[in-house]
Structure 1
């Protein structure tokens, strides 16, 4: 549980950052209070609540492992109290994170703008194709390209001059940052299926 909580802690920080960068918007409800100084802003309160509860859970569970008497007295009640305290804070954190996720809305225009500036994301699949067809030094060759200014034209020029079958070149030339996701889709599906089997993650 501690390992999972640590992962969730990082997740809440990441989501908070993505909201700040404008990658996510938060759906609002009538009467919802915004930021103290900027009423138009909606604080990611669920993720903040999740973060605080995870820290409380971490402290409670950690105290169980350190609160051992040198005189070997019975500390069962202390173990039980802090274990349940850690579990309770963890469950509250899980529910708050899920409620926060339900309020998220992808800011497609912002993401589209970011992707248009980052044709370098296609380097992964280009390198994979180069390795499949045994093109010499795929990593080193791509490193020279991708550590400079990369745009649609430079990527297209690079692909056309590769020693690859024409069909493979055409496949690569048809890729755009907006549609290329690599294995992300399959990974997301497998995670969703794994979480779906755990009743604790079902919001009522």
Structure 2
């Protein structure tokens, strides 16, 4: 009997989910891993657990150092160092150990608590039998709800990611744009409003506008507050005061949060309200969108020939057209900025709401902070590399200017208005007369000079306008670039 090939079952493919080492599901942990790897130290699941351990350890040290719980022994310097070494030596083995414990506890913060207690129980083997660390085991996670640990851990994570990784990259990019602005401050360029030829500017001034906008957002991000709390299950210090009523728990809480380098939030429910996160992510998303504007503008200047992509041409631009060097850095940046901004918007919108005193929507939401910041960091890298591969082409800009003499119409009609106000006759309807001369068709330099010299303007005004060209009609554009360096410019 003949079998119809069309009905035969296809051979089963090997499951990629079973490949070792595991294959990344997303591009940040796959194709783009090298660019965003520094964020792993701050925004990964392992980083979250390390910061949880850090907070728990510091809380234990804080309680014992300040004699908060009567009868609790003081820790020696060696014992405090031993505790802090749990954080310093946090590695892949610790990650695996926590994962194994969490499979039993089905609770991530409880797994961290047990890890520290196990280290305390094992301390005599390292420090000697007279160590008091086993005696303070029940001060681990003392009077804490999980969110006391989590909110502080996340604040430290985000603070580290922004200040140590994202901000340095963003500042380097803005400095790069500012340097280009100064370099090209006096290079005349035809402006385009609504896509149409408009009053000339300079390439440097247009780059300076973008650098100035980006720097404003960086100042806001640089000044962000990172809030934290450690006040119990509903923010009332109920368990604290029930256990040790004589302690000034509000002052102890504030001192601990500030000891971690965070801003203390005195009024919370079970969770720290995350408003600071929403504010920060809004500012970062706004920075993304300004940078997106830069990427699309530079892409357009490349398409107009104002920039030549001259470096890195060993790469394949097009798979079929050998003459092409595609502006892929800027296109990739656009896409990653859009993804990042969408995630940051979602984080900010979700995190500011919590039902009554607690729900868990923030828990899974905050696990996506890494991708949100990662796509922005990837875009920063793309734009920086894209800009580094560009050379301005003043000759191309000059050709465009010389083909658009009609843009001088604004200058001439403005001079006519001023002369008319000063009493010069024959200056009536200046806008309409320039509109008739220039709208809908191109004019030459000779056409413009002939028109200007026939208006009856005062001689010095007529000669000044007749000598003007589109390339010299850039106003104070070059001078304005220097405001990038002025700290007195108001936000």
- TM-score of the superposed pair, with normalisation by structure 1: 0.78
3-state SS in 2 of match to 1:155: helix
3-state SS in 2 of match to 1:91: helix
Note if contact 1:26-1:42 (Cα within 8 Å) is conserved in structure 2. Answer: yes
Indicate whether 1:144 and 2:436 are aligned.
yes
Pick from 162, 173, 180 the counterpart of residue 466 of structure 2: 173
Call closer, same or farther: CA 1:165–1:4 in 2, change over 3 Å.
farther
Q: Shift of residue 19 of structure 1?
A: 1.6
Spell out, residue by residue over 1:117-173, the C-alpha distance to the aligned partner (whole angstroms, 9 max, x if none): 111122232233223323433322221111133111211112112242211111111
Note if contact 1:28-1:42 (Cα within 8 Å) is conserved in structure 2. Answer: no
Match of 1:99 in 2: 385
Take 2:446 and 2:480, find their aligned partners in 1: how far apart are those partners? 31
Match of 2:302 in 1: 19
Call closer, same or farther: CA 1:164–1:102 in 2, change over 3 Å.
farther
The alignment of Structure 1 onto Structure 2 pairs a total of residues equal to 194
Call closer, same or farther: CA 1:131–1:116 in 2, change over 3 Å.
same
RMSD: 2.7
Spell out, residue by residue over 1:62-110, the C-alpha distance to the aligned partner (whole angstroms, 9 max, x if none): 2124436784514444454444543333233234223322322122333
Where does structure 2 lack aligned partners over 5 or more consecutive residues? 1-282, 422-426
- TM-score of the superposed pair, with normalisation by structure 2: 0.36
Q: Shift of residue 4 of structure 1?
A: 3.5
Select the structure with the greater relative contact order (CA < 8 A; seq sep ≥ 6). 1
Q: Which has the larger radius of gyration?
A: 2
Mapping 1:33-182, distance limit 5 Å: 33-67=316-350, 71=355, 73-133=359-419, 134=421, 135-147=427-439, 148-182=441-475
Take 2:479 and 2:369, find their aligned partners in 1: how far apart are those partners? 36
